[in-house]
């Protein structure tokens, strides 16, 4: 088995789409790290469904629209985003590039794109925030919105400490992931890669005990987040609180009743339970149930600007990118991530123009076929 190629210093020829980055990235990552990134669980039915849902949906252009003053800007939690695209939380960026999340956040800063930093980042949240501020000073641009993604720890005191650190470091929202507290561990981290934010924090072992228990009755299951934990977390911070991993309207409504400020419609990229529907397919029911009370974000399968337009037409406020940021990072580091983001925004603007939608608010169900 050959060693992975080093990241390139410049964008290679032929990188004209996110798919091109994905095709090239495998050669730049160790085989086990690539498998960890790309694979879902089971037979990868949900991974395939995430893409198929976008491909099934057709777009219906409207002609002769006035595109003057067109833009892709939106406001989320009091901050202006230049585009309805954020980098979602992905663990261990150093699996793809030595500079890991530091390179990723510098690219996000250059493109004015918000980033959600994972609890399992391979640099600390403080280091990543400082890298964003340094890049913003160097480029003379604003620091992009930075949010912190939280996996609740078995000791809730450590979870509170993580939230306090995020507040102190200047993060503007907390995103609680609720769908992945119980999942298979499939990767042994190589030397030099760790969950930097969790240094010094005890982690329970996800193994069966001597009594023969597999999952139920083990610390892993017993400490899994419950609705009471969400209520507790709401009391721990005044930052906007977003829940990631919502796939059913009743759960969305219960989260809102506990004071949640936003929801991420997500099946965790097909990584936790095979056989789930795509996030795109359940989005309309959740949008109808919540009635615009809070922003809805979506992730899972987004690879084209047309995908972004489809998600927004069905009720999403914005989308989050997961795997594509690692593809760009593995191929060409900071430049690869920045170029990938530029490609997606350019595709979105072209799509909006062809649909006769100068603003995001114009992306409505009547731009889809059959009309929804």
pLDDT band at 266 (very low <50, low <70, confident <90, very high): very high
For position 212, what pLDDT does the model report?
76
Residue 293 burial (C-beta neighbours within 10 Å; 0-12, 13-18, 19+): middle
Tokens 């228990």 sit on residue: 213
Residue in 72, 4, 54, 70 with CA at minimum distance from that of residue 34? 4
Tokens 């964003």 sit on residue: 132
Tokens 């925004």 sit on residue: 345
DSSP per residue, 212-273: ---STTSHHHHTS--HHHHHHHHHH-SS-EEEEEE-SHHHHHHHHHTT--EEEE--GGGTS-
> The whole model's pTM is what?
0.95
Q: Evaluate if residue 208 carries a pLDDT over 60.
A: no
**What are 84-106's pLDDT values in tens digits?**
999 999 999 999 999 999 999 99
Give SS3 for 117.
strand
Residues in the chain: 372
Contacts for 36-43: CB closer than 8 Å, 24+ residues apart: 36/95, 36/186, 36/187, 37/95, 37/96, 37/323, 37/326, 38/323, 39/186, 39/271, 40/269, 40/270, 40/271, 40/274, 41/183, 41/184, 41/270, 41/271, 41/272, 41/273, 41/274, 42/274, 42/275, 43/274
Residue 167 burial (C-beta neighbours within 10 Å; 0-12, 13-18, 19+): middle
pLDDT band at 282 (very low <50, low <70, confident <90, very high): very high
* Distances, alpha carbon 190 to alpha carbons 33, 322, 325, 334, in Å: 9, 21, 20, 22
Q: Evaluate if residue 185 carries a pLDDT over 90.
A: no
Tokens of 298: 């979506």
With beta carbons less than 8 A apart as the criterion, state whether 86 and 114 touch: yes
Q: Report domain extents, the chain.
A: 18-58+71-291+305-369
Average pLDDT over residues 35-61: 93
Q: Evaluate if residue 211 carries a pLDDT over 80.
A: no
pLDDT band at 210 (very low <50, low <70, confident <90, very high): very low
**What are 301-316's pLDDT values in tens digits?**
999 999 999 999 999 9
Tokens of 259: 């004071």
What does the alpha-carbon distance between residue 150 and residue 107 come to, in Å, rounded to a whole number?
22
**What are 111-142's pLDDT values in tens digits?**
999 999 999 999 999 999 999 999 999 999 99
Catalytic sites, residue numbers: 268
**What are 322-364's pLDDT values in tens digits?**
999 999 999 999 999 999 999 999 999 999 999 999 999 999 9
**Stretch (H or E) spanning 96:** none
Q: For 18-58+71-291+305-369, which CATH class?
A: alpha beta
Over pLDDT 70: what percentage of the chain? 95
Residue in 240, 263, 122 with CA at minimum distance from that of residue 191? 122
With beta carbons less than 8 A apart as the criterion, state whether 139 and 109 touch: yes
What does the alpha-carbon distance between residue 165 and residue 33 come to, in Å, rounded to a whole number?
29
**What are 163-183's pLDDT values in tens digits?**
999 999 999 999 999 987 777
With a CB cutoff of 8 Å and minimum separation 6, the contacts of 22 are 303, 323, 324, 327
Q: Evaluate if residue 230 carries a pLDDT over 80.
A: yes
């Amino acid at each position: 088995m050959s060693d992975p190629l080093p990241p390139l210093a410049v964008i290679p020829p032929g990188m004209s789409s996110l798919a091109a980055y994905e095709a090239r990235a495998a050669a730049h990552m160790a085989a086990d790290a690539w498998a960890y990134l790309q694979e879902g669980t089971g037979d990868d039915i949900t991974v395939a469904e995430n893409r198929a849902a976008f491909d099934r949906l057709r777009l219906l252009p409207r002609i002769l629209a006035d595109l003057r003053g067109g833009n892709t800007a939106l406001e989320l939690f009091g901050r202006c985003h230049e585009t309805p695209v954020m980098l979602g939380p992905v663990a261990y960026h150093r699996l793809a590039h030595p500079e890991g999340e530091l390179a990723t956040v510098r690219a996000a800063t250059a493109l004015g794109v918000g980033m959600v930093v994972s609890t399992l980042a391979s640099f600390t949240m403080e280091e990543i925030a400082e890298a964003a501020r340094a890049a913003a000073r160097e480029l003379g641009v604003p620091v992009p919105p930075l949010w912190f993604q939280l996996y609740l720890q078995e000791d809730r005191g450590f979870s509170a400490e993580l939230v306090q650190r995020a507040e102190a470091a200047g993060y503007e929202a907390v995103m609680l992931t609720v769908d992945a507290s119980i999942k298979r561990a499939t990767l042994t981290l190589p030397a030099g890669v760790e969950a930097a934010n969790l240094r010094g924090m005890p982690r329970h072992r996800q193994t069966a005990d001597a009594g023969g228990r597999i999952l139920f009755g083990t610390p892993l299951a017993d400490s899994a987040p419950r609705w009471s934990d969400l209520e507790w977390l709401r009391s721990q911070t005044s930052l906007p609180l977003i829940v990631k991993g919502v796939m059913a309207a009743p759960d969305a409504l219960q989260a809102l009743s506990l004071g949640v400020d936003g929801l991420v419609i997500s099946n965790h990229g097909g990584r936790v339970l095979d056989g789930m529907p795509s996030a795109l397919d359940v989005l309309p029911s959740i949008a109808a149930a919540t009635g615009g009370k809070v922003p809805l974000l979506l992730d899972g399968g987004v690879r084209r600007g047309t995908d972004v337009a489809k998600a927004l037409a069905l009720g999403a406020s914005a989308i989050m990118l997961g795997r594509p940021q690692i593809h760009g990072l593995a191929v060409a580091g900071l430049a690869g991530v920045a170029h990938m983001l530029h490609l997606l925004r350019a595709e979105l603007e072209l799509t909006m123009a062809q649909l006769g939608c100068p603003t995001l608010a114009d992306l409505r169900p009547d731009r889809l076929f059959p009309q929804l």
